Structures are given as structure tokens and as C-alpha cells.
């Protein structure tokens, strides 16, 4: 029939259709490409976005720790300077005064009296701060904590100085030099061996002050949980301070007993000079 396609042409065309286009540039790759497989050993590896987020979180955490640490160091440094400044203002009774106030007592009995009084005084400080923390509207806690730490330090410095008087071991020097020696004794929790000049650090130059500041800060950092009876009430605050003061006194007395000078062998010592602006302490 005119115009009809010959059968062989139809068959060839069908075969062409089945084969698809015969362009030389046709791609042999499938239309949908999957992502290339991850290299071996990278299973579960964080993506770049995850790594950036983790780095940002670490930086924020470091910044927070750095700022908090700076504030804590500044607070401890402030307290250390206050304790150093207060040391020469602590009123200390010499041996003659103590024997008049407690007649008939020997060295150990007199030392017991001093420890009992100081422990009661630091317990009172702890009770006051603990009670303040239980108020419906607590006061500024950093201020209260600073008051407790400096108050307890002053009471314990007085105790240490008077224990040295009782055991006949007054450090040499003037008021400021003895105060520095007692600060070293308090921060190191050791008695002063007056037979060894190297153990009596009287000259408070810049290097000595820095060393003393480091010693005091170490002790305060260690004792900080015991000096913070916040939210635990007056009774617990009192118990903790009383216990710690007694523990300190036991260490000092143990050192002093080994080098004690009997009262009848003591040379006549001058009366202790009174501070120009004495602190008001109990005990």
C-alpha cells in the first residue's frame, strides 16, 4: 500500500526503539547517584557542624571556669590580706597575765582553759553565720562568709600566741615580727621552734608576704567546706568550728610540748605590747 512502512523497516525501528537512542554522548551512569561510601574507619565520625558546636561549647565552658576561678582567687586574696592586716591587732595575754587570771593552774591545765575558750568563741561565730543563713531573707552570703573566716582566724591566732606563752616559747622580735611568726604557725598548723631561727619568719618582705599569702590561701581552700555552715543551721556551724579549732590546738600543742621550757626556768620576759587598735575578740 502506498505510504505504508515496509515490514522490515518497522522491525528495524522497533529494534532501534528497544535499544534506545544511539547518541555517542549518552551517559552510561544511572540517573540517581548515591553518595560515595564513607572511608573505612570513619563510621560515627562527627560532622563539621557538630565539631564546630562542640568547640563553641568547650570555649564557653573554659571561659566560665576562667571567670569563676578569677573571682575565687580575688576573693581568697582579699581575705588573705585582711587576715595579714588583722594579725598585729590581735590582743595577746602574756604568761604573767594568764597566770593571774587562772591562778593555781599548771601549763597543761592552763592550755586546756585556753583551748576551751577559743573553741567556744569560734563555735559562736559559726552558730551566728549558720543562723543567719536560715533567715527567710538571708544576708549577703559572701560578706558573711568573709566575716566568719577572718573572725575564726583572729581567734585562732590569739590562741596560738597564748599557747606559745604558756609553753615558754615566745618568738623573738617586736609585735609585727611575732604576728608574722604566728601567721606562719596558723597557716602551717605547726608550733614555732624558737631554737631554730629559720622557723621564725619575722621579716615580712614582699617575697615572704607572697609565700605567706600562698600558705593561707591553701589552708582556706582546704578548710572552706568546714567554714561554710550555710543552710545547715546554727548547731552544725558551731560544731564544725569547735571541732576544727580543737584539732588545730592539738597539733600546735603536740609540737610545743617537745620543746617546752618550764616556768621556773624561764627568764624574766617583758610584758607584751598592746596593739594600737586591738580587735574585739571573745575567748
Q: Using H for helix, E for strand and C for coil, what is the string for the chain? A: CCCCCCHHHHHHHHHHHHHCCCCCCCCCCCCCCCCCCCCCCCCCCCCHHHHHHHHHHHHHHHHHHHHHHHHHHHHHHHHHHHHHHHHHHCCCCCHHHHHHHCCCCCHHHHHHHHHHHHHHHHHHHHHHHHHHHCCCCCCCHHHHHHHHHHHHHHHHHHHHHHHHHHCCCCCCCCHHHHHHHHHHHHHHCCCCCCCCHHHCCCCCCHHHHHHHHHHHHHHHHHHCCCCCCCCCHHHHHHHHHHHHHHHHHHHHHHHHHCCCCCHHHCCCCCCCCCCCCCCCCCC
Question: Considering only CA atoms, which of 198, 209, 200 is closest in space to residue 84?
Answer: 209
**pLDDT tens per residue across all 283 residues of the chain:** 455 555 555 554 544 444 444 444 444 444 444 445 545 444 556 677 776 766 666 655 555 545 545 566 677 778 888 899 999 999 999 999 999 999 999 999 999 999 999 999 988 886 655 545 544 544 445 666 777 788 889 999 999 999 999 999 999 889 998 999 999 898 888 999 888 766 565 556 666 677 777 777 776 666 555 555 444 545 566 777 888 899 999 999 999 999 999 999 999 889 999 898 898 876 5
Q: pTM for the whole thing?
A: 0.68
How far is 254 from 111, CA to CA, in rounded Å? 12
Q: What is the pLDDT of residue 70?
A: 59
Q: What is the pLDDT of residue 139?
A: 46
Q: What is the pLDDT of residue 240?
A: 78
How far is 281 from 274, CA to CA, in rounded Å? 14
Q: What is the pLDDT of residue 269?
A: 87
Q: What is the pLDDT of residue 276?
A: 87
Q: Which three cell numbers stand for residue 160?
A: 596560738
Q: What is the pLDDT of residue 230?
A: 47
Amino acid at each position: 500500500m502506498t505510504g505504508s512502512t515496509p515490514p522490515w523497516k518497522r522491525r528495524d525501528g522497533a529494534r532501534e526503539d528497544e535499544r534506545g537512542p544511539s547518541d555517542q554522548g549518552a551517559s552510561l551512569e544511572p540517573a540517581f547517584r548515591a553518595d560515595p561510601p564513607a572511608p573505612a574507619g570513619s563510621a560515627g565520625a562527627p560532622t563539621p557542624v557538630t565539631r564546630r558546636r562542640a568547640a563553641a561549647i568547650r570555649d564557653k565552658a573554659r571561659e566560665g571556669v576562667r571567670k569563676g576561678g578569677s573571682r575565687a582567687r580575688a576573693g581568697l586574696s582579699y581575705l588573705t590580706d585582711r587576715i595579714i592586716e588583722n594579725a598585729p591587732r590581735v590582743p595577746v595575754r602574756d604568761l604573767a597575765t594568764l597566770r593571774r587570771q587562772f591562778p593555781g593552774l599548771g601549763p597543761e591545765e592552763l592550755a586546756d582553759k585556753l583551748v576551751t575558750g577559743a573553741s567556744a568563741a569560734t563555735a559562736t561565730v559559726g552558730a551566728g553565720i549558720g543562723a543567719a543563713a536560715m533567715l527567710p531573707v538571708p544576708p549577703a552570703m559572701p560578706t558573711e562568709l568573709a566575716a566568719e573566716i577572718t573572725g575564726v582566724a583572729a581567734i585562732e591566732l590569739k590562741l596560738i600566741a597564748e599557747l606559745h606563752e604558756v609553753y615558754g616559747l615566745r618568738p623573738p622580735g617586736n609585735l609585727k615580727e611575732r604576728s608574722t611568726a604566728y601567721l606562719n604557725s596558723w597557716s602551717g598548723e605547726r608550733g614555732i621552734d624558737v631554737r631554730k631561727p629559720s622557723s621564725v619568719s619575722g621579716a615580712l618582705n614582699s617575697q615572704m608576704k607572697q609565700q605567706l599569702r600562698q600558705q593561707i590561701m591553701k589552708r582556706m581552700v582546704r578548710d572552706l567546706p568546714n567554714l561554710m555552715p550555710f543552710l545547715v543551721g546554727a548547731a552544725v556551724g558551731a560544731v564544725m568550728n569547735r571541732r576544727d579549732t580543737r584539732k588545730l590546738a592539738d597539733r600546735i600543742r603536740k609540737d610545743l610540748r617537745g620543746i617546752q621550757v618550764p616556768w621556773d626556768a624561764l627568764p624574766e620576759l617583758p610584758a607584751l605590747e598592746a596593739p594600737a587598735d586591738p580587735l574585739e575578740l571573745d575567748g
